[in-house]
Structure formats: C-alpha cells, structure tokens
Copies of this chain bind each other. A is one copy, B any other.
Amino acid sequence: MMEAIEEIRRQLGEDAVSTDEEDLQTHGFSSWSTVNPDRLPVAVAYPRSTEEVSAIARVCHHYRVPLVPYSGGSSLEGNFSAPHGGVSVDFHHMNKIVQINKADMDVVVQPSIGWQDLNAELSKAGTGLFFPIDPGPTARIGGMVGTNCSGTNAVRYGTMKDWVINLTVVLADGRVIKTRRRPRKSAAGYNLNGLFVGSEGTLGLVTEATLKLAVIPEETSVAVVDFPSIRDAAAAAAAVMQAAVPVQCMEIMDEIQMRVVNQSGFTAPRVWEEKPTLFFKFSGSKPGVQEHIESVKKITAEKNGGKFEFAKNEQEQQLLWSARKQSLWSMLALRKEGDDVCPLTRLDGTGSTDVAVPLSRLADLIEVSKKEMDDLGMFASVIGHIGDGNFHESFMYNKADEGERRKVEACVKAMVRRALDMDGTCTGEHGVGWGKKDSLLLELGAETVGVMSAIKGSLDPRWILNPGKIIDVPWEAGKEKKQ
C-alpha cells in the first residue's frame, strides 16, 4: 500500500497525494450517509487529467490497492466510503467545462463540476440550454453518473442515464476507453453508457462526460395543492401521470414536512397549510403552461375542491422550490439538542429511505408506511418524487437511544420489504453503495446479482475499483464491519 502511494507521488508529484488525517476522514466518512465502515482510505490522490488518473490506476492495479472515486461527497449509502482502505481519488482539480457544443445541444465536462455550476456557466455563455438532472444541490457530475441519480425534474426529463452521450473511462488496469463518439442516438454495440452509469465507480473511473442539454423553457410556474389525506395526494399524483400532463416536477410532502417549511421560514412571510401537499412545477410555452395548469386543476379538484396556490413571483418560486430541495437542511435547522438528523439514520445497511414502486401501488405504500412511522411517535416524515413512484422517509431521532434506533431500523426494513412486495425497488435514485447490498440481493436474487458480479470480475479481475460496493467482494463476503 505504502509503496503504491510513493510510486504515485513519484509519478504525479508530491502534492498529488495527501495522507492528512482530516483529509482521510472527509473522504471516508459522511454524516449524511446511512452507513459508514470502520475503515478510512489510506491516502487521497488529486489527479489533474485523464492521463494522471490512468497512471494512478496502473500503479494501484500493480500493487492491488483499492481505488475509490470521489466528487461531491453527497451520496447517502456509503457510496464513497473505503471499507477495504486504499486510495480515494478526488477529482477536485478536474472540474472544468471542456467544450460547449451549442448547435448540437451538448456539453463536454470533467467529473467534478457541480450540476448547479454547470448550469450557471451555460447561462453565462448565453446558450439558452440547461442540464436538467437536479439531485442534491452539492452533487457533481462524476457521482451523478455513478449512482444514475435523478431529482425533481426526473418526471419530465428522466434520469442521468438518459443524458449521457459518451464517457471517457479509466479501466482498472489504467487503460482508457471512450464509450461512444458524439451522436445523440446509436445502436452500435453494447450500450456501455448504460452500464457505466449507475455502476458507482466499480467498473471504471469516469474522467470526462459528454452530456445532452435541454432548451430552457419559455415559462415556468410553481403551484402548491394541499389534500385532506396523504392517500388523496398520492392518488391525485397518479391520476396526473395517467393523464400524461407533462408537468416538469411533481413532489409530495406530508404535513410534517410542510410544518418544517413553515418553521424554517424559507418562504416567509408566506405560510402554508400543514397538510399533505403536492408541489407542481409547470414549464413550457406560455399557452402550454396555462393548459397544463388547467388540466391538473381539473384532476385534483375532486379531492381538494380546486384549491390551487401559486407562487406569486419568480422569487417566491425559487424560495418554494429550494424549501423542497433543502428539506433535509430545514429539518437539520430545527433539530432538538441531542437529535441527529440524517435522511435515514445510521442503520446496519439493510434499510433505506428511498424506494420506488409501480404507480398504482404508491398510495398504498405511502399510507401504510406513514402510519407505521406515526406510530413510532418520532419526528418522521414522507417526501418524494411521486411522479416516478419514488419516495423517501426522513427520520429525526436520538442516536444515543438504542430503543429509538431499533424502532427506526425495523420500520425502514419493513418499508423496503413492502416496496419489494409491491414489485418495486429498494432504491429509486440513491444507489446501493455500501448500505443496501442486502436489499439488492433481496430485490433481484442471487442469480441476477451474480450476473452483475461476473461483469465486474471481467472488467476488474483484481476487484480494486470501489470494492465492497453494490456487490460483496467474492472472497471477503460477510467480513465487513459497519459503524
């Protein structure tokens, strides 16, 4: 391990590798994550180019040292943790836009650019284009490719895999490949984009990506619609999907989350009803937006009597939407002394807040899960990208209280199992990481996970790329320790 680090320093320069204790902590532990292993990376490398990443990989391949990619550090399932030690590869310096191809509606970027920064640059360059995938505010392209992330825009624009034109990838042994040239559509050979997106750095390290861009809509409108019950809200959302109204976003928040929005003061002086609520973002041409609003009003009227509150201006639109996007932060701001907020809690890896089910089952799943959470008598709430059948549970609980921890754990396990029973998935957008391997196995079975393992073994026979994520390292299964 130490020889590998010295060799990387020799090839890339003294500054290219850090073994600073704080650095190792930042790159191996996350207080947002549902799980953290009890090991940290041994070093953090800071490459500046594809060639340097390739050099690092060659060295680590030679010495059989694990390589764990790191960009925004905002993932939730221990995706960038280092349960087998090794080198964290932080793409910090590789955060540039390489090329904007306006006429082709695409952009070439390095992995450590944030999606918000990318959009700011596209705006500054006057392209009239934007990148529509919007996960947590601090997420960066590399990690977004890794988890096949999505966000509030996914109901209209799809997920990360739908926006990748090509990837430059450093393989386990340092070879560099490009998955495609730059056509928006191709049927030429295996869809390697589709394979690398969502593989969480276990098959290769992405050093450059060409992404499709979308045209910024002419008009945007944000509306808030409350309902008597969470079931009514979920049913209305399913009806909007079944009527194919092309909303840009459709989010559900329960009465607890609405209280958080009010208490956080994000939208002050505006105060919202603390009831189960759907948030809509409409966008398109001016007449198109009006038409979509009318359609949704008609669909929701039956359950809520036609109440429909609009953000009054662009500033309120942004405030309202950021209240939704930053719901986790809002909760954090409200936490009682001694409570520890995280989107789930530090469970032992089988549970998670993020599941997705077929549309028709969503109202059932949310209603039952919500009731179970209420019965816990803790601060717990439901929030979700309801148009995708994807929702999250959030808990606030006292980590020191073993009883609370157990209740939360049981409740989340039940939710994942219920989602699977409804033909759903254990994660709609956060990925498997280190935290959900058991759930993945429960979801797909040993044969299907075995196919993933065979593919992994074919591209990384020494199993050095982000080992222990998605699937167990075959010869070390069951040996992992969690905090």
Once bound together, how far apart are the Cα atoms of A360 and B448, in whole Å?
Answer: 41
Task: List A residues 198-252 near B (Cβ within 8 Å).
Answer: 198-199, 203, 214-215, 238, 241-244
Task: List A residues 256-293 near B (Cβ within 8 Å).
Answer: 285, 287-288, 291
Chain B: CB-nearest residue to A424: B183
Contact A106 B358 (CB under 8 A): yes
Choose one: B191, B361, B451, B455; the contact of A198 (CB below 8 Å): B191
Contact B358 A177 (CB under 8 A): no
Which residues on the B side are within 8 Å of A307 (C-beta)? none
Once bound together, how far apart are the Cα atoms of A470 and B187, in whole Å?
Answer: 11
Contact A198 B187 (CB under 8 A): yes
Contact B192 A452 (CB under 8 A): yes
Choose one: B203, B215, B426; the contact of A188 (CB below 8 Å): B426
Contact A184 B356 (CB under 8 A): yes
Once bound together, how far apart are the Cα atoms of A147 and B188, in whole Å?
Answer: 9
Decide: A190 near B185, CB < 8 A? Known: A244-B214, A291-B288.
Answer: no
Contact B182 A424 (CB under 8 A): yes
Contact B185 A448 (CB under 8 A): no
Which residues on the B side are within 8 Å of A214 (C-beta)? 244
Q: Is A180 in the interface zone, CB < 8 Å from B?
A: yes
Contact A427 B187 (CB under 8 A): yes
Once bound together, how far apart are the Cα atoms of A432 and B191, in whole Å?
Answer: 12
Shortest distance from the beta carbon of A194 to any chain B beta carbon, whole Å: 3
Interface residues of A (CB under 8 A from B): 101, 103-106, 147-150, 154, 158-159, 161-162, 171, 175-195, 197-199, 203, 214-215, 238, 241-244, 285, 287-288, 291, 295, 356-361, 388-390, 420, 423-432, 436, 439-440, 443-445, 447-449, 451-452, 454-455, 457-459, 470-471
